[in-house]
């Protein structure tokens, strides 16, 4: 008997699939838990994928092998534009987040279909460095200045200096 509370909200702690009133529930609960997928994200993804199909051909990565680095770099460009304050891709008019999802979806699908060429360099130290930094930064004596939004409304073209300030060194707001 499997404990299912963590993935099925209406089952109480201690109950198992055999405690469910409908016998189909026990079988359905073993399938991919699509209830955890936010459908708004799928809608945005579909719009970007439709644009990509029109531009490059529908499911082109299933017919022609693709380079992992091309999609990683495309995703990074969209993340950087988003991080820099641009919400929508100027070419497609769609959200940068959806473009990142599209890049990752293509990488996952190409990999599952053995159409992915992994052209990454040899393993580097980035992951280790991030973990080491995180361990060191748990020390409260290492303050980090971060922007704090004072206004709840973001301007269309830019933020005025009055809307953003750096966090005080003690971390208080």
How far is Cα 107 from Cα 100, in angstroms, rounded to an integer?
Answer: 11
pLDDT band for 4, please (50, 70, 90 cuts).
Answer: very low
CB 4 within 8 A of CB 14: no
How far is Cα 147 from Cα 169, in angstroms, rounded to an integer?
Answer: 12
Does residue 163 belong to any structural domain of this protein? no
Structure confidence by residue, pLDDT tens digits, 90-134: 999 999 999 999 999 999 999 999 999 999 999 999 999 999 998
Does residue 101 belong to any structural domain of this protein? yes
How far is Cα 145 from Cα 140, in angstroms, rounded to an integer?
Answer: 13
Single out the residue in 94, 117, 140 at which a domain terminates.
117
What's the number of domains the chain is made of?
2
H or E segment to which residue 148 belongs: strand 147-149
Does residue 52 belong to any structural domain of this protein? yes
Shared-domain flag, residues 92 and 27: no
Q: Which domain holds residue 14?
A: 1-36
pTM: 0.70
pLDDT of 10 > 70? The answer is no
CB 95 within 8 A of CB 88: yes
Alpha-carbon torsion (127, 130, 133, 134), positive or negative: negative
Beta bridge partners, 164, equal: 149
Does residue 60 belong to any structural domain of this protein? yes
């Amino acid at each position: 008997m499997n404990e299912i509370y963590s993935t099925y909200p209406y089952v109480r702690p201690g109950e198992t699939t055999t405690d469910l009133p409908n016998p189909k529930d026990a079988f359905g609960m073993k399938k991919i838990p699509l209830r955890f997928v936010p459908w708004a994200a799928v809608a945005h993804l579909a719009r970007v994928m439709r644009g990509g199909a029109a531009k490059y051909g529908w499911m082109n990565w299933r017919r022609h092998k693709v380079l992992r680095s091309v999609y990683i770099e495309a995703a990074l460009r969209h993340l950087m534009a988003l991080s820099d304050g641009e919400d929508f891709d100027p070419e497609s008019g769609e959200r940068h987040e959806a473009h990142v999802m599209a890049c990752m979806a293509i990488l996952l699908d190409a990999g599952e279909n053995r159409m992915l060429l992994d052209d990454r360099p040899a393993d580097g130290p980035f992951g280790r460095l991030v973990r080491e930094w995180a361990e060191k930064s748990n020390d409260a004596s290492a303050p980090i200045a971060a922007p704090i939004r004072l206004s709840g409304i973001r301007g269309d073209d830019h933020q005025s200096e009055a809307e953003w300030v750096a966090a005080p060194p003690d971390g208080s707001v």
